[in-house]
Amino acid sequence: MFFYIITCRSVIAQDVNILEKNCHLDISVSRNNIHIKEQNYVSKRFLNNINQNTKDAVFYSSFDPIVKFEAWTEIPQQNDKSKIIKVVTDEEKSVLQRGIFYNDYIRKEFIYPAVVKNSIGVLKYSQEIKDPHFINTYFFDDQYNVDKSSFSITTPISVKIEFSIFNTDEYDVKFTQDTIKKTVKYTWEINNLKKLEHSSKSPPRAYYAPHIIARINSYKFKGTDITVSSSVDDLFKWYNSLINKIPKSENENELKLKVNELTKNSTSETEKIKLIYKWVQSNIKYIAFEDGLGGFIPRAAGDVFAKKYGDCKDMANLLKTMLNLADIPAFFTWIGTIAIPYSYYEVPSINSDNHMICAIKDNNNFIFLDATNPFIEYGTYPYTIQGKEALVRLSDEEYKIIKLPISDFKNNTRIDSVNLSIKDEILYGKAKVEIEGYIKDGYYFQKLRSKIDNEENFIQDFLSIGKKSSVYKNTNVDEEDLKVTINFYAEFKNEIIYVGDKMYVNLNLDPTFNEMKIKDIDKRTVPIFEQFKNKCLYQCNLSIPEGYKVDFIPENITFEFDNFQIKTTYSKTEDKITYQKEIISDFLFLYKNRFADYKAFLEAILKINEQKIILKKY
């Protein structure tokens, strides 16, 4: 399926200024076929750090090959003239993207020649859009400041265009529509755009950057209206035509034998589903392919079964086929991940999804199965698709759109329990961590990554209880289906300070603040994005050392906002201090109007984390 490419470079402000960038679509109709030519133009002035910014690139694929390319440098001369030096060499490379084993995206790289301060680099290239479903999204902004940015379409009046424009409320968008004879031109222009902001915990670019998605609603040919992307009906019709191109499996008997083997002792349909689902998750390796229409048409289930690998649509097809062989109805399902902010209803095109899964029906409810995630349990689904719309294919003629719920923070929990004693300047004792939901999934993914990277301190890096100087010993991990429990012995250094006859002890060993802090919140404009809602509970029992008594414990604190809260409680007995801290994060997106509240919330956590109990000799 399609993916977004966002080029991110570390540059100093005002290194480069884009004078103008524009994209123009020229649409025509010939012999009942839509022809689309995309023309791109960019001019930019080089100001500072010249050598770091002369390299550039454009991207294309089999869906939108480059048909013309030229670039040059305009070097300022005396008398307001410029010397033009053209780019004569370029290099084409396959685009390697994390999670994609193979795709046919090509990066055409080049370097602007002989650049000096105040030189202007100019890029012009044209692409052929071979299928009207694949019109590219246009982002008005860029990684540099942009003086003028525009997107335009020229089309016969017989072609009906639809467009959706996003994240432009803070901009003055100039829209014009001009009709000359039988041709109409649409233009959208935005001036003076600030460079693309890269902040920690930012959502994908489409959630905040100004952009436009154009699509062809319909066109007339010999007096007949032919729809292309007028509605979800059209999108489903096209998707369904691709499903009907799935090759037939040549070794379906082997699949049937495997299904019979897995389900022979099953006593219920649900048990059969769980067994087949778990087998696909555990035995088929997810390897993504983005190869022309091969990125949209699943491979034969038998081939995937034999090779033991496939991408999302391949795994969905294998899972559906195996369930069908067990006489269990199952359905192809298209869905967008969290990377995509659109609804099928507002953007009925391939821009609204980038993933395929499988669905089954349990009475009147659908259960979604995503076999690409080997750790997710039956009845749940990856955090990457929570809250997203699923397009479920019920038959060749029928579909249904279902919105998945967003997982409640109560489902994604971490409980840290530590029982500590003091020896000299060290806190030591037993610790237990229990994790559930998406936090548990994160544990498994990090564990898998640590094996690949040969990391030795996986548990300590994942838990991050105490400072890096802490020592974890005798670690024991119990990996149950719904919960992972980690027990270990630990020594925590640098948490105790002695002043005279008093001992200052910081019991805040949990890592929550480091995971939540936002460094740029005062100047930030981009929403704060959390992958999932969650609750973290930290519980600490400290044995009071012999010869000491409690001189001070901090007051209990409750700090609550609508979508985030922290609560701390201290209590004491003659020989023990008990401390509990609960932090709830109940949002996925937090927008600028809430930043002041969130800043106060983070400041409260920081203040709490600096609090110390005081023990005094007696």
Q: How many CB atoms lie within 10 A of CB 31?
A: 6
Task: Of 217, 233, 215, 206, give the one whose Cα is nearest residue 342.
Answer: 206
Which amino acid, 144? Y
Q: Reply yes or no on whether the pLDDT at 535 is more than 60.
A: yes
- Give the three-class secondary structure for 544: coil
CB 608 within 8 A of CB 581: yes
Tokens 């690409």 map to which residue? Answer: 372
Total residue count of the chain as it appears in this document = 618
Q: pLDDT digits over 330-347, tens only?
A: 999 999 999 999 999 999
- Composition of the chain by helix, strand, coil, percent to 5: 20, 40, 35
Kindly report which listed range (126-130, 199-203, 214-218, 500-504) carries the lowest average pLDDT score: 199-203
The pLDDT assigned to 78 comes to 82
Task: Tell me the backbone φ, ψ of residue 78, rounded to 5 degrees.
Answer: -70, 160
CB burial of 204-216 (b: ≥16 within 10 Å; e: otherwise) equals ebbbbbbbbbbbb
Token pair for 41? 């133009």
Residue 266 phi, psi (nearest 5): -70, 145
Confidence class for position 1, pLDDT limits 50, 70, 90:
very low
Would you state the structure tokens that stand for residue 498, as one six-digit string? 């002695």
Q: What is the model's pLDDT at position 98?
A: 46
Average of pLDDT values for 190-208? 92
Alpha carbons 572 and 550: distance in angstroms, whole number: 8
Res. 293: pLDDT tops 80: no
- Model confidence at 103: pLDDT above 70: no
Q: pLDDT by residue (tens digit) across 70-94?
A: 999 999 988 778 899 999 988 888 7
Residues of the chain with CATH 2.60.120.1130: 409-617
Least confident of 24-28, 247-251, 592-596: 247-251
CA 368, chain centre distance (Å): 19
Rg (CA), the chain: 29
Give pLDDT tens digits for 514-534.
788 888 899 899 999 999 999
pLDDT band at 468 (very low <50, low <70, confident <90, very high): confident
pLDDT at 279 > cutoff 60: yes
CA 54 to mean position of chain CA atoms: 30
- What does pTM read for this prediction? 0.91
pLDDT at 514: 79
Fold of 16-227: Immunoglobulin-like (2.60.40)
What CA–CA distances, in Å, run from 65 to 28, 58, 104, 136, 416? 18, 11, 11, 12, 54
CATH 2.60.40.60 fits 240-403, yes or no: no
Q: Is the pLDDT of residue 217 over 90?
A: yes
Q: Which are the contacts of 575, defined by CB distance < 8 A and separation ≥ 6?
A: 543, 544
Indicate where the chain has its CATH 2.60.40.3140 domain(s).
16-227
| pLDDT, tens only, 149-163 | 999 999 999 999 999
| Ranges of H-type helices in 289-356 | 301-307, 312-325
Longest dimension (CA), the chain: 100
Residue 291 has pLDDT above 70, yes or no: no
Strands 413-423 and 502-505 come out as unpaired
367, 358 in Cβ contact below 8 A? no
Report the distance separating Cα 184 and Cα 452, nearest Å: 56
Give the domain 409-617 fold. Answer: Jelly Rolls (2.60.120)
3-state secondary structure of 440: helix
Q: Assess whether pLDDT exceeds 50 at residue 127.
A: yes
Question: What percent of the chain is modeled with pLDDT above 70?
Answer: 95
- Which helix or strand (DSSP H or E) is residue 599 part of? helix 595-609
For 148-176, letters b (16+ CB in 10 Å) and e give bbbbbbbbeeebbbbbbbbbeeebeeeee
> Packing angle between helix 269-283 and helix 252-263, nearest 10 degrees?
120
Using H for helix, E for strand and C for coil, what is the string for 560-591? Answer: ECCCEEEEEEEEECCCEEEEEEEEEECCCEEC
For residue 615, the surrounding DSSP H or E stretch is strand 613-617
Amino acid identity of residue 450, one-letter, is S
pLDDT digits (tens, 9 = 90+) for 37-63: 999 999 999 999 999 999 999 999 888
pLDDT at 421 over 80: yes
**Residue pointed to by tokens 């829209």:** 175
Question: What's the pLDDT score for residue 198?
Answer: 80
CA dist., res. 284 & res. 317, Å (int): 12
Quick one: tokens of 231?
């509605």
Range list for CATH 3.10.620.30 in the chain = 240-403
Question: How far lies 259's CA from each of 25, 252, 324, 583, in Å?
Answer: 50, 10, 10, 45
